[in-house]
Structure 1
């Protein structure tokens, strides 16, 4: 089995990554950065996002400040490598989104959308299914179920507990009591409307700015493939929302 290791860039985690490399090669694994069978992510949830970009099944090792989605403790690495070779794990799938815009396209794990770039409101129209909504405010975010536990949760307080739905989050809407909409997993098209003068807004994907739009520009956010994580321990999805849970 061929492995690729993706790790957080700190001295402590680099040392842990070296340990994983040594253990893996001693157990008969091959290290392959170009065409691995499995990606080992060592770090926190940000490292997991980097690992997902490779499109391969992932094993997650906790070494981050929060690491809500990482299930393997550092002391258990050797045992997990043995179990991986034996196929002793269960598969957990996370639905991804694909954001398509004039600059290209990208798979998204948590959320994507359009946010203001300058300190003034923007007007956006969202078209999905047979519905159209137009809002003025700081922007719109479209979140996956796992993404609903992060940025969107801090805005709406809503946790999306089903896998076949999306959350549309209205960011600081003007004259609207609605903060979010729960919709079926479907394509959502966003259009930046004109306020009568030129504006620029940010296209965001998993917390990163990946481009800009101006009035009349469109982006689409649609269901994509699933990310696959090989799990060795149960993950409580409420752990990141309610840290006091045992």
Structure 2
């Protein structure tokens, strides 16, 4: 088996990265950053997001494992004290593949420019460069509403506990093939109306945002912030690709939620 290790970059994470690499090589596994079968992320959820985007072209051939060195992460099953058990499991045991849905972001441009495609593990947001954000929202090719406010967030189920939750969105179990559209500070008065609630769309539904006035937008894809000009539309849907985690022990999703937000 070929493996790679990604570190958050602090002293503790770097030390664990070197220990994991040494142990796995001692067991005969091959370190290969270009074409790993398994990627071990050491740090937090942000570190795993970087690893996901680094290997997003290999999702059908690469599985991920998270080790958290800070606060409990939603993508991390292991803690530093369990490194020996993790290394032994990777070297000698077969893992249970657990797949989570991803978000496909498709940006199309005025004047027929080439469209841009991204994959997001957590979420994508859209905001104006300046002025009030005004966007027509279509669901399944039908006009749903004209949104006015600060912006919009579209999240995956596994990303529903991140920025989406801070915006008042629902927490969605990652086994559900869906995406969630959540508003950022919508304008609602006698003239303007929005639904005012998060929308959870199933896997076979597509959501398209169409600019009303502005054409330049700041689009985030997980940790990336990108300026797109002359935007004609932004399409969101559940991607055909999935991220695959190598699960060597059970860690129920609702326990993660409890431990992250409720437990002392």
TM-score between the two structures when normalised by the length of structure 1: 0.89
Question: What are the equivalent positions in structure 2 for 1:175-190 lying under 5 Å apart?
Answer: 175=188, 176=194, 178-185=196-203, 186-190=205-209
Tell me the residue number matched to 1:108: 120
Tell me the residue number matched to 1:121: 132
1:155 to 154, 160, 167: 167
Does the CA-based 8 Å contact 2:160-2:169 persist in structure 1? no
Q: Which runs of 4+ in 1 moved over 4 A?
A: none
Aligned to 1:156, the other structure's residue is in SS state: coil
Tell me, in whole angstroms, the C-alpha distance in 1 between the residues paired with 2:227 and 2:261. 34
Does the CA-based 8 Å contact 1:7-1:41 persist in structure 2? yes
Tell me the residue number matched to 2:16: 16
Question: What are the equivalent positions in structure 2 for 1:1-246 lying under 5 Å apart?
Answer: 1-53=1-53, 54=55, 55=59, 56-102=62-108, 104-118=116-130, 120-133=131-144, 134-161=146-173, 163-175=176-188, 176=194, 178-185=196-203, 186-194=205-213, 200-214=216-230, 217-224=232-239, 225-238=241-254, 239-240=256-257, 243-245=261-263
- How far does residue 187 in structure 1 lie from its aligned partner after superposition? 2.5
Q: Which runs of 5+ in 2 are unaligned?
A: 109-114, 189-193
- How far does residue 157 in structure 1 lie from its aligned partner after superposition? 4.4
RMSD of Structure 2 on Structure 1 (CA): 2.1
- How far does residue 60 in structure 1 lie from its aligned partner after superposition? 1.2
Tell me, in whole angstroms, the C-alpha distance in 1 between the residues paired with 2:20 and 2:233. 44
Tell me, in whole angstroms, the C-alpha distance in 2 between the residues paired with 1:169 and 1:131. 18
Aligned to 1:142, the other structure's residue is in SS state: strand
Q: Between 125-134 and 137-146, report the one with greater CA deviation.
A: 125-134
Q: Deviations over 1:116-153 (max 9, x none)?
A: 333x3211112221432321111111111111111111
Bigger fraction of residues in helix: 2
Q: Which runs of 5+ in 1 are unaligned?
A: none
Aligned to 1:23, the other structure's residue is in SS state: helix
Tell me, in whole angstroms, the C-alpha distance in 1 between the residues paired with 2:149 and 2:165. 18
Tell me, in whole angstroms, the C-alpha distance in 1 between the residues paired with 2:105 and 2:70. 27
